[in-house]
Structure 1
């Protein structure tokens, strides 16, 4: 019943009666060997790998495992493996080859990388004839686990007693290893493993949990029974929640079933007494300090403090108004940072803020990693002047290489998005939507070139052969997208065989590379045309297939940069070889949206939506190229907001977006 907000208990640290760390016997898992093929499972089976990662030696929790497993699968896909192995297999491989984890975020990969290196050193020690006792000491001494147990033991209380028991168990494990080696020496770890097996001690392996560091625990009042903390916060003590006098049970009232048949439902008085006892349980979990909070709305029909508050024997204190900032570390750091650079603040206040920031910046975890990295001035990017690279992004003496899509980003949408995605190579990995488009484009090319017949059944058979290689979030999403692909291919086939004003195919997937003048710059345009057709006047007409879910407006198509670049490339000789060495005039270009239906008057659902661009008129394309080239050579990439932000992978680090503004503020 209830939850954190309404009927919950929040307490810092582990409870006094919480179980201690996992048994020290977990350390022996590394001594086992695995006879699975090395190319499939290196030397460590997946079950043992997961156990080690979540043991006190690894110290990882379920969230860290999920994040690391997801990152390893993304790495496999980026490396060309479209169907990567399961996460547990990749985790076992990474643990056996810890150097693979160097490129991953230390926030979730540091524990696995450290443990992997430690296991490798232990295996080398055993392979060189080292004893089980020496191997255990290497494992024990190479992790933060001893320091954690020492701190817990010195704190005392039930958590300290658990730590003492764990330390005793570790000492007993070392004694066992020493005795096994002395009794029948010469067999290394095998004697030790046989000694442990001979003990035949039952263990509850199902109850093992990851190491829980000191933290705030959130739970309901029922879950807190039997536990104690130094500080307890009982939040949301409003009337209607404490007490909650609603009838318990379900539609069939299974809670009334007892030994003697159906019992009478609890009366309101009995419910009130039960709620009072539950509140007493929550309040008495505190050893030193208890904080009880409630909300008091101005209106009588709003939230009001519970009647139980008056039974605590302390007059409630009214706190009106909101705090000047959220009560969180990030907000505190932001306020202190702003104060240190505020010219209106007194020197004493600025000095006090700087000292407090220094204290926060010096805080580290068990492994020496900063707990509040944003407090250090080295992280205050907003105070830094714009950087200048020693090596220019582009050589001004050479043409600026651009594509049609790059031209659109640089001139019309967001130049910073282009720089981070194209130059820094920080764009998100290919998505299933991009895979969808690639498959449809390939099949359209095969039909137009005559390599595959224009038959839907044949195309679907080809589609089936590659579809499972595309990664989708769920099976139902895969089935849905496959149906969309079938509809798109069906529309393409109808469009392919229809009369398009006398135009005939001349080339498909035609690569081009032309250099042209754009103001005071030279621009090299490279790309690929999905389809080039010859119209009845001998002009070149370019077709670009689209598989996205959105389409530009009519005005946007008239000045669509990518279509304009195609026409400009035709004018500069990009398709001369297709037309027998003759340079044709550009006759226009069009977007064919295979995923979207045409208007009813143009064929409706049976045909794709087509948006045409007239032959080039005016110098606007040259101006667009000059603008884009100038921004690349000047190396000033300013973020610009718009519809393109919806699918941008850099929102969290973009100063033009609310979620990324913390980078410079």
Structure 2
């Protein structure tokens, strides 16, 4: 999650990982299967086969004694299968496939050779300062051009995201230079892995951005945080949640309350008999209902000026009707008292009425919207 999970940043980081580590196979697959190189599963599998052949040739697997010794000794880090090494072989191999006999597609051979040449050129600059390396990667790979080719609003958001990432890199470079004398790409990638593991992928570095729509959960809400807040899905069983929390007395995967840091706020089992467990179950239901009310309170006090709520009777595929939840009914009553407006309030369906979305003549709307093929071709 966070900044590192956004596509424009993830592609840049993947390129840097491939440059620094020939064994970064997952990152290389991301690049090869992405919109720029568009390598299919068949050619990716063949590339993996070529990489395995390289390792087998280097360690002489035709010799039974060597195979036995390798099995006893374990894996040498130098013998790990590297897709990047296999990619480099396309710089010397013929494009017609006469050298290896593997049935790569002609387009894949050309693209493999182009990417290998690009990566080899970029590796020559790894000794440069960190920010110079990152800007060179952006220029050579065309990531900046791809951002500019995006629709205007999307391009602005992606540029802002990329600038936030470069700000993080610049801050790291300044700190590392002050402490150690120099910031390297290797050290920066280590910093990013730590951030991915312990800081939710640089969650705090996500772009704020004015005039943008934020998709957020109701958790960690703050009062009067946004001018306008939209809360969809206020239907029975969804918000407030009607399922309740799993009880540790019934599910082995749930941590007992006594071992939790918030044990003082949680119900406890008074007596270990049928009556005590029944009382505990009732207390858990009450506790869950209170937690849902608290979550609803922080959600509905989040906007500074406008709160929009919505619900529905029918979901897209449900045969059982849902209807407004207690929260949506409370908002409706609040508006009816003169403190807001109700634009639409659908009448309750008749008993036995079926979901109109499941009717044979219902028109199915594609979502997400299909990609613009012409725009995709230009990329």
Of structures 1 and 2, the one with the larger relative CO (CA 8 A, separation 6+) is 2
TM-score, scaled to structure 2: 0.45
TM-score, scaled to structure 1: 0.29
Bigger Cα Rg: 1
